[in-house]
Structure formats: C-alpha cells, structure tokens
C-alpha cells in the first residue's frame, strides 16, 4: 500500500511544482484527489507474496480487511467523472479538487492540516485497526 500512497503524493507534489513553474504560461494544472470509489481497481490489486506477507503480518491482513470494508461502501465512480467534466468545462477552478465521502473529501484533509502528525498517525492506525509491535 505504501508504493500506491507514495505515487499519489508524488503526483500531488509534481502538480504543485509545475503550477508554480508554468504560472506565466496560462497553463492551469488541477490536482484531483479522489477518495474510495466502486471500481475494479481494488479487485485487480496484486497482493504481495507469502514471504513478504509474513514480514508484515498481522497488520497487512487487517489493513486489507479495512480496505475491503471501505470498498464495499464506496461511492459511484460517476461522481468523479462528473467532477472531471466540470473541471474541463471551467465550472470548477480550484487547484486541488477532493472528491469522495464527507470524511475523505473534507474532514480527513482538514484534520491532516490542523492536527499534529503523531495524532494523525494514531488516527490512521485506529482507522485501519493496525497494532504496534509489543
């Protein structure tokens, strides 16, 4: 899961950097940050091999179960498609667009900016049911 999160963060950082570099050109970049949506993406995700899984146990299985629960409640992907159309048509002009449930699109990003990092990490561990090593 870390490589996926790393790629998302890298794309956001690249978009922000390019926005500054290209500000004089009139080119507008938009960072779309979708939450969980009911697509085949999760089902097609390749799980790690047995040897690596053993190193991450038991948290890996706990995290996958939490993600599975989230995906079972995920929103219709048409919501993201409609948002993309509104961006292209110029109806939405913000540089960062969050699309998803109230928690994913509004509450979690706000807490991430306002709360100290250790508390955010504690919240993520609690959300996914992850345990610290004894």
Asked, for residue 42, whether it belongs to a domain, the answer is: yes
Q: What share of the chain is helix, strand, coil (3-state, %, to 5)?
A: 60, 5, 35
Asked, for residue 133, whether it belongs to a domain, the answer is: no
Q: What is the pLDDT of residue 130?
A: 81
Asked, for residue 22, whether it belongs to a domain, the answer is: yes
pTM to 2 decimal places: 0.74
> Taking 80 as the threshold, does the pLDDT of residue 3 lie above it?
no
pLDDT category, 104, cuts 50, 70, 90? confident
pLDDT category, 39, cuts 50, 70, 90? confident
15 contacts 29 by C-beta, under 8 angstroms = yes
106 contacts 98 by C-beta, under 8 angstroms = yes
33 contacts 87 by C-beta, under 8 angstroms = no
Asked, for residue 70, whether it belongs to a domain, the answer is: yes
Q: What is the pLDDT of residue 103?
A: 86
Domain count of the fold of the chain: 1
Asked, for residue 45, whether it belongs to a domain, the answer is: yes
Asked, for residue 134, whether it belongs to a domain, the answer is: no
Asked, for residue 18, whether it belongs to a domain, the answer is: yes
Asked, for residue 113, whether it belongs to a domain, the answer is: yes
- Domain range holding 10? 2-128
């Amino acid at each position: 899961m870390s490589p996926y999160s790393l790629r998302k963060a890298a794309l956001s950082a690249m978009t922000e950097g390019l926005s500054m570099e290209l500000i004089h050109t009139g080119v507008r970049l938009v960072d779309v940050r979708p939450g969980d949506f009911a697509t085949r993406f999760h089902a097609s995700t390749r799980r790690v091999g047995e040897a690596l899984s053993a190193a991450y146990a038991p948290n890996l299985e706990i995290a996958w179960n939490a993600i599975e629960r989230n995906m079972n409640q995920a929103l219709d992907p048409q919501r993201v498609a409609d948002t993309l159309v509104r961006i292209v048509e110029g109806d939405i002009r913000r540089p960062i667009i969050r699309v998803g449930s109230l928690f994913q699109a509004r509450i979690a990003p706000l807490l991430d900016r306002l709360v100290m990092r250790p508390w955010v990490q504690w919240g993520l561990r609690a959300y996914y049911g992850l345990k610290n090593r004894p």
